[in-house]
Amino acid sequence: MQLYNTLSAEERAELIDQAGKQRLTLSFYAYAKIEDPKKFRDNLFVAWNALDALGRIYVAHEGINAQMSVPADNFEAFRETLEVYDFMKGIRLNVAVEQDDHSFLKLTIKVRDKIVADGLNDETFDVTNKGVHLAAKDFNKILEDPNTIVVDFRNHYESEIGHFKGAITPDVETFRESLPIINEQLKDFKEDKNLVMYCTGGIRCEKASAYFKHQGFKNVFQLEGGIIQYAKQIKEEGLESKFIGKNFVFDNRLGERITDDIVSQCHQCGKPCDNHTNCANDGCHLLFIQCDECKAAMENCCSTECLEVTHLPLAEQVKLRSGKQVGNKVFRKGKSEKLAFKHSGELSDQSLATAKKTILPKKIKKVILGKAEHYYVKAQVGLFLMENNELNVGDKILIAGPTTGNQELILEKMLVNDTEAITAKPGDKVTFAIPFRVRLSDKLYKILE
């Protein structure tokens, strides 16, 4: 019984491209009493692996929290795997506004103490005594009430690129931090104000609404299905969007556009921008906002120091980060003194620019050949190890990677095992001229006409 991934992310991406079928990105959650989370986890993995369902899922004694990518053809079969469990019969599946076949490239199901790290002792209050759920139309209506206080229960890097107009946006890095801050900030309004809360898909508000009712707030409301469901409903019902900007999502897309407004800036140059990136230095991985110009100039790095590190030999890079503690001390979320235009906490509702309409590129049909081994900077020559298929002079090739992007060229000449040749096969080492730098994370493909 297979209970783990056997393919790398790159191999999975290749299979998805070759299949050429649409995939749906979706999320769901359910609070329930699960006696044996480990057994529950294993059963889900077997069922979902058979359907080519991918994603990041947390299960615990208190329930399940899932963000996933499912082949459209298998959507109903996937739903049936949920209906097996009484607590997931008729469960709402939040389907993403924007789709990306590569939103998830592995199936990861982890057993946790909680499905959301909230820091609360659930034994001290009734977690089922939740706030009133509001659909998009009613949510818009209550926001217009001057007696309403609306709170964003997401983290600073989420709210910075998009939020509801007039919302309180706590300057926090974790959900658990926001609970005592909001409780203290609004302690004088427990009796007479509408406390209205929202998050990405609804799961954080599900627990927070019960917590704040326990803290004495009389009128507690939450956005049903979160921003994801709100965006769907305003589109279907032709409603005005009170949300402005982009909704941050926890998959490879890092965001889906709700309105054309850009409300944030590139953290490096200050240009209006709402595209997140992770620093290319594996010893940093800082999540920050970076425009296309800075991305090209800084090669996906957050600072000149990180840029210099990425140019070092791999062995030296590994040595530099050896012994570093992982977690938030390395994989930080937009908190760095090197970022000159970082904003968090109290945010403006002003639109800085309008996003350009993007035309999705035609999918490239390709087969993987091998991977990058080295790049000779002075000679501008790349070395690749052939692992699959056959490469010939005259082939149209693609070199792709997280920093390099997608670079296409025609192979005019190559050396195979240090000798000029016209054909290379698996096991061969191939070198040829490349007018751009390649990295060890880059893959070599042949484009099929």
Residue pLDDT tens, the chain, 449 long? 667 787 888 788 878 877 778 899 999 999 999 999 999 999 999 999 999 999 999 999 999 999 999 999 999 999 999 999 999 999 999 998 888 888 999 999 999 999 998 888 888 888 889 999 999 999 999 999 999 999 999 999 999 999 999 999 999 988 999 999 999 999 999 999 999 999 999 999 999 999 999 999 999 999 999 999 999 999 999 999 999 999 999 888 889 999 999 999 999 999 999 999 989 888 888 899 999 999 999 999 999 999 999 999 988 988 888 776 544 444 456 678 888 888 877 888 899 999 886 554 556 788 999 999 998 888 899 999 999 999 999 999 999 876 677 899 999 999 999 999 999 999 999 999 998 888 887 889 999 87
In this structure, are residues 405 and 425 in contact, taking their beta carbons and an 8 Å threshold? no
- How far is CA 221 from each of CA 186, 210, 352, rounded to the nearest angstrom? 15, 10, 30
Q: Element (H or E) spanning 10, and its range?
A: helix 9-19
Token readout for 27 is 């999320």
In this structure, are residues 436 and 368 in contact, taking their beta carbons and an 8 Å threshold? no
Concatenating the DSSP letter of every residue in 296-347 gives HHHTT-SSHHHHHHHTS-HHHHHHHHTT---GGGTS-BS--TT-TT---SS-
User: Closest Cα to residue 5, out of 40, 56, 75, 39?
Assistant: 56
Q: What is the pLDDT of residue 366?
A: 86
Concatenating the DSSP letter of every residue in 190-243 gives TTTSEEEEE-SSSHHHHHHHHHHHHTT-SEEEEETTHHHHHHHHHHHHTPPP-E
Domain ranges across the chain: 9-111, 366-447
User: Closest Cα to residue 78, out of 46, 47, 34?
Assistant: 47
Torsion of CA 349, 351, 352, 356, to 10 degrees: 140
CATH of 366-447, one of 2.40.240.20, 2.40.128.120, 2.40.30.10, 1.20.1250.20: 2.40.30.10
Q: What is the pLDDT of residue 302?
A: 92
Polymer length of the chain: 449
- The radius of gyration of the chain from alpha carbons, rounded to an integer in Å, stands at 24
Q: Element (H or E) spanning 141, and its range?
A: helix 136-143
DSSP helix/strand/coil, 31: strand
The pTM of the full predicted model, rounded to 2 decimals, is 0.74
CATH fold for domain 9-111: Alpha-Beta Plaits (3.30.70)
Give catalytic residue positions.
199
Q: Residue 227's CB: how many other CB atoms inside 10 A?
A: 28
Q: What is the pLDDT of residue 328?
A: 40
User: Closest Cα to residue 204, out of 99, 278, 119, 103?
Assistant: 119
Type of residue found at 136 = A
Type of residue found at 156 = H
Distance CA 350, CA 352 (A): 6
In the sheet that holds 162-164, the strands lie side by side as 162-164, 243-247, 256-257
Type of residue found at 220 = V
Type of residue found at 410 = I
Q: Residue 185's CB: how many other CB atoms inside 10 A?
A: 14
Q: What is the pLDDT of residue 358?
A: 56
Give 50's contacts (C-beta < 8 A, 6+ positions apart). none
